[in-house]
Amino acid sequence: MPDRTLIRRLRLASLLEGFTLLLLLFVAVPAKHLFGHPMAVRVIGSVHGLCFLLFLWSLVAAVSAGGWSRGEIFRILLGSFLPFGVFVNAPLLKRKELIPEVSELGEEER
Amino acid sequence: MNYLWIEALHVAAVLIWIGGLFTQSIVLAALARSQVDSSFGPLISSIRRWDGRVTVPAMLLTWALGITLAALSGSFSKSWLSGKLVLVILLSGLHGMQIGMLRRFSSKPAVRIPDFVRWFPGLIAASVLAIAILVVVKPG
């Protein structure tokens, strides 16, 4: 059963990773190669690296809590490498976050 | 002076993080070895609460201060730091797995904890030993 808190954390980390990837590709890289500001890639690249590590860490925690198929894990991982990929995967994470947990099902039955 | 303050806070954050990691790993190893019953419930809840409020923030602080120290001292190109980073990533991954497993156990106690978690406390101890040697001896 997926865990709501861990999936919310994963969703946030995934969005951060996606935004910083877009910043890196569409702001920092043109700033370096078109306008001669190499510092932009160094700064945004480091921030993106940290966000990617946070995303991987959140994915490991969420997957270890169970309730994930291999296809879903692959899709989430692939989405983190592609620009706009995390936004394609956002509805999947939102859906998984809304699945009621065991404890909540128990409360509903009572 | 600032560097020493950051270093002191980094060491404190590492100690708190590793303490939390050991606690989780030893409890998970015990759960994998023994017959699971409901008496473990309150202990798991306390560990998860402590993790969310203390161990995870300590891990994030360890990363943030560690990167600051490396940037201030210009150590990013040193091989001992690369080795240390690999081990810190391994420990962070292990932490994530442990959080997930404890969460899974508290929502579904019938689910069996995998046998390989018995190796986690030893793996953490070996990583901490290697990190201490890399940081103090600085080979390479």
CA distance A18 to chain B (A): 20
Q: Which of B95, B114, B125 is nearest to B31 (CA)?
A: B114
Phi, psi for residue B37 in degrees, rounded to 5: -135, 175
Question: Between the CA of residue B2 and those of A80, B8, B53, B73, B127, what are the distances in Å?
Answer: 36, 10, 27, 12, 28
Q: What is the DSSP string of A22-35?
A: HHIIIIIHHHHHTT
Given this model, what pLDDT does residue B106 score? 83
Distance spanning both ends of chain B, measured CA to CA: 27
Q: Residue A109's pLDDT is what?
A: 42
Decide if B130 contacts B139 (C-beta within 8 A): no
The gap from C-alpha B55 to its chain's centroid, in whole angstroms, comes to: 8
Domain carrying residue B64: 2-137
Which residue of A58, A66, A103 is in closest CB contact with B111?
A66
Residue B99 CA: distances (Å) to CA of A34, B55, B77, B88: 45, 10, 32, 16
Is the Cβ pair B99, A61 closer than 8 Å?
yes
Per-residue confidence (pLDDT) for residue A108, from 0 to 100 = 43
pLDDT digits (tens, 9 = 90+) for A60-87: 999 998 888 999 999 999 999 999 999 9
Number of domains in chain B: 1
Residues of B engaging A, defined by a Cβ cutoff of 8 Å: 63, 67, 89, 92-93, 95-101, 103-104, 107-108, 111
A3 contacts B104? CB cut-off 8 A: yes
pLDDT of residue A66: 84
Structure-token pair, residue B56: 């995870």
- The overall average pLDDT reported for chain B is 90
User: How do residues B29-51 score in pLDDT, each as one tens digit?
Assistant: 988 887 666 677 888 889 999 99
Count CB neighbours of B28 within 10 A.
23
Give dist(CA B66, CA B15) in Å, integer: 13
Give this complex's ipTM.
Answer: 0.76
Spatial contact of B65 and B13, defined as CB atoms under 8 Å apart: yes
- Average pLDDT value for residue range B88-116: 88
Q: Could you list the pLDDT tens digit for every one of the 110 residues in chain A?
A: 456 888 999 999 999 999 999 999 999 999 988 888 888 898 899 899 989 999 999 999 999 988 889 999 999 999 999 999 999 998 999 888 887 664 454 444 43
Helix B120-137 to helix B79-107 angle (10° resolution) is: 160
Q: Which residues of B touch A60 (CB under 8 A)?
A: 93, 96-97, 100
- Structure confidence at residue A106 (pLDDT): 47
Contact assignment for B107 to A57 by CB distance below 8 Å:
no
Q: Which of A58, A60, A101 to mutate to test the interface with B (most CBs of B within 10 A)?
A: A60
Domain parsing of chain A, residue ranges: 4-99
Contact: B93, A101; criterion CB under 8 Å: no
